[in-house]
Amino acid sequence: MSKRTRRKLLLISGGATLSLTLALMFVHFGDRLPVHFSAHPAFALSADRGSVADVVDRVLPSVVNIASTRKVEPSKSPFFDHPMFRDYFRRRSPRMQRGLGSGVIVSSDGVIITNNHVVAKADKIRVTLWDKREFSAKVVGTDPKSDLAVLKLKGAKNLRSIVLGDSDRLRLGDAVLAVGNPFGVGQTVTLGIVSAKGRANIGIVDYEDFIQTDAAINPGNSGGALVSMRGELIGINTAILSRSGGYQGIGFAIPTNMVKPIMKSLLSGGKVLRGWLGVVIQDLTHELAKAMKLPPGKGVLVSDVDPRGPAKKAGLRRGDLLLKVNGKEVNTTGRLRNLVASAGAAATVRLELQRDGKRRSLSVKLASLPGNLGGRGPAQVAPTESQGLGLAPLSPKVRERYKISRRVRQGVVVTQVAPGSVGDRAGLQPGDVILEVNRVKIGSVSRFSQLFAAARGQVLLLVYRRGVSQYLLIHK
């Protein structure tokens, strides 16, 4: 069970599939729960100057409602072929599933950006403008890894498009507006602030760099606009974090600086070609920084370099600390991954890094992201050490048992981890290959035991697991 499940937090997409049941729930809770009205402080400060209303006047015509329909085939069953039921099931026709969401006009000829999940697998898409005009739309391209999609309205012209802003200029506490079509009730504007930036590892999509806001976002707001007080689009509303399934003050939007290159790729070729550096990276914790004598809180640690990748050709090494990509600071793996991916395949990026206490700069020509590596065999018990680890030499038999790549030429294999041991607390698993102890390469169980026994306090391990390497700390 995941950590998110244990906390009983529900991540839901902003798109809505409306039903009679949902409508009844809305009415039911509306009747029973008391309703209190109070002025929003930010709104009260801005209303006298009319700035909020002026922003709404500018952006509302650029936000649209999206209604999608898709055909859902009846569920299959072995009983379908039984003579008693065959005629009945043959008469059952596919049902139509309807969904509602939002979108944003980004060009006057009807190009719209929205969420992928709003239009995924849709057979028909209808878009309603703020002035009630309706258009049919076709999907230009989708990118499920970022949950973005680009649509084109048929026969549209002279539409009012929104201005795309620079999401990097946002500061925590900046006022923002969320515009969309929550629950299908019609265009709605809510006010809030930027609560956080760079939210990653949420688990919604593969590539995450979300803006977090407390502006109310509900089902149906997906694909709608997050707007700055300058009237510029700075995010596409995507999801909420909730225990109940409804808005609870934590919403997420994809920043425009992530949207722009993806939208450009989809418009030019219908797909996204992301850049690939060819490194395994991990966040630099305070303990890792101390163990490796690196500056805390800065950069992302390179724990492995793919021998086939661009990083290897450019001279990157294991243990390098990546500080900047094209002049932009990187302090998290999510930030680094997004900057490299958004640069695109075949792009050349400038990396700033620290190696052996010295600052360096490298130019790397990126490649296209290849398929994943991996593979691990079942556990096998071996003699245990006092630290709670069962270890074995990297023999042909052990290599075959755990499906260890031939490119791993030295190290010792973890075959058992005692529950509650220091190895267990550090996150070691059966099938891991320990390559280094405190930056010293090892090739035998006896060498591991010697170095481990000589270490004091904490031990820095370099571990190969499922095709990649990473650093782990053991506290003795």
Q: Domain map of the chain by residue range?
A: 3-21+41-57+162-268, 60-73+82-153, 275-368, 389-475
DSSP character string of 237-275: EEEEEESSSS--S-EEEEEHHHHHHHHHHHHHHSS---E
CA neighbor of 62 nearest in space, from 139, 156, 195, 136? 156
Question: pLDDT tens, 275-318?
Answer: 999 998 988 888 888 888 888 878 999 988 888 899 999 999 99
Q: Are 301 and 281 in contact (CB under 8 A)?
A: yes
Q: How far apart are CA 413 and CA 440, in angstroms?
A: 16
Active site residues: 117, 147, 222
Q: Are 315 and 361 in contact (CB under 8 A)?
A: no
In the chain, % of residues over pLDDT 70: 80
Q: How far apart are CA 212 and CA 250, in angstroms?
A: 7
Burial bucket for residue 19 (CB in 10 Å: 0-12, 13-18, 19+): exposed
Q: How far apart are CA 188 and CA 130, in angstroms?
A: 11
- CA 419 to mean position of chain CA atoms: 32
CA neighbor of 267 nearest in space, from 406, 113, 459? 113
Q: How many CB atoms lie within 10 A of CB 244?
A: 8
Q: Are 455 and 418 in contact (CB under 8 A)?
A: no
In the chain, % of residues over pLDDT 90: 45
Q: How far apart are CA 215 and CA 42, in angstroms?
A: 11
Q: How far apart are CA 326 and CA 257, in angstroms?
A: 14
Tokens read off for 295: 């500056």
User: Look-up: residue for tokens 């914790």?
Assistant: 285
CA neighbor of 139 nearest in space, from 273, 261, 274, 271? 271
Q: Are 464 and 435 in contact (CB under 8 A)?
A: yes
Q: How far apart are CA 83 and CA 81, in angstroms?
A: 6
Look up the CATH superfamily of 3-21+41-57+162-268.
Answer: Trypsin-like serine proteases (2.40.10.10)
Rg (CA), the chain: 27
Q: How far apart are CA 277 and CA 349, in angstroms?
A: 10
Residue 336's DSSP bridge partners are none
Q: How far apart are CA 247 and CA 239, in angstroms?
A: 10
Residue 311: its pLDDT value, please? Answer: 94
Q: May I ask the CATH architecture of the domain 60-73+82-153?
A: Beta Barrel (2.40)
Q: Are 95 and 138 in contact (CB under 8 A)?
A: no
Burial bucket for residue 297 (CB in 10 Å: 0-12, 13-18, 19+): exposed
CA neighbor of 170 nearest in space, from 200, 194, 199, 198? 194
- CA 51 to mean position of chain CA atoms: 33
In this structure, the chain runs to a length of 476
Q: How far apart are CA 59 and CA 161, in angstroms?
A: 8
Residue 93: its pLDDT value, please? Answer: 60
Same fold, 3-21+41-57+162-268 and 275-368: no
pTM confidence score: 0.67
CATH topology of domain 275-368: Pdz3 Domain (2.30.42)
- Output the tens digit of pLDDT for each of the chain's 476 residues: 444 443 333 333 444 443 323 333 333 323 333 333 333 333 334 433 448 999 999 999 999 999 998 876 665 555 455 555 555 555 556 667 777 899 999 999 999 999 999 998 899 999 999 999 999 999 999 999 999 999 999 999 999 999 999 999 999 999 999 999 888 788 899 999 999 998 887 778 888 889 999 999 888 889 999 999 999 999 999 988 877 666 788 999 999 999 999 999 999 988 888 899 999 898 888 888 888 888 887 899 998 888 889 999 999 999 999 999 999 999 888 889 889 998 888 899 999 999 988 999 999 999 987 643 333 333 333 333 435 788 888 888 888 888 898 889 899 999 888 777 788 888 899 999 999 998 899 988 878 887 887 787 788 999 999 888 999 988 87
- CA 425 to mean position of chain CA atoms: 27
Does the domain at residues 389-475 carry the CATH identifier 2.30.42.10? yes
Question: pLDDT tens, 66-93?
Answer: 999 887 666 555 545 555 555 555 555 6
Q: How far apart are the first and last CA of the chain?
A: 28
**What is the enclosing helix (H) or strand (E) of 19?**
none
Q: Are 276 and 331 in contact (CB under 8 A)?
A: no
Residues 115, 120, 122: CA angle, nearest 5 degrees? 125
Q: How far apart are CA 443 and CA 409, in angstroms?
A: 9
- Residues of 63-97 as b/e, b for ≥16 C-beta within 10 angstroms? bbbbbbebeeeeeeeeeeeeeeeeeeeeeeeeeee
- CA 84 to mean position of chain CA atoms: 49
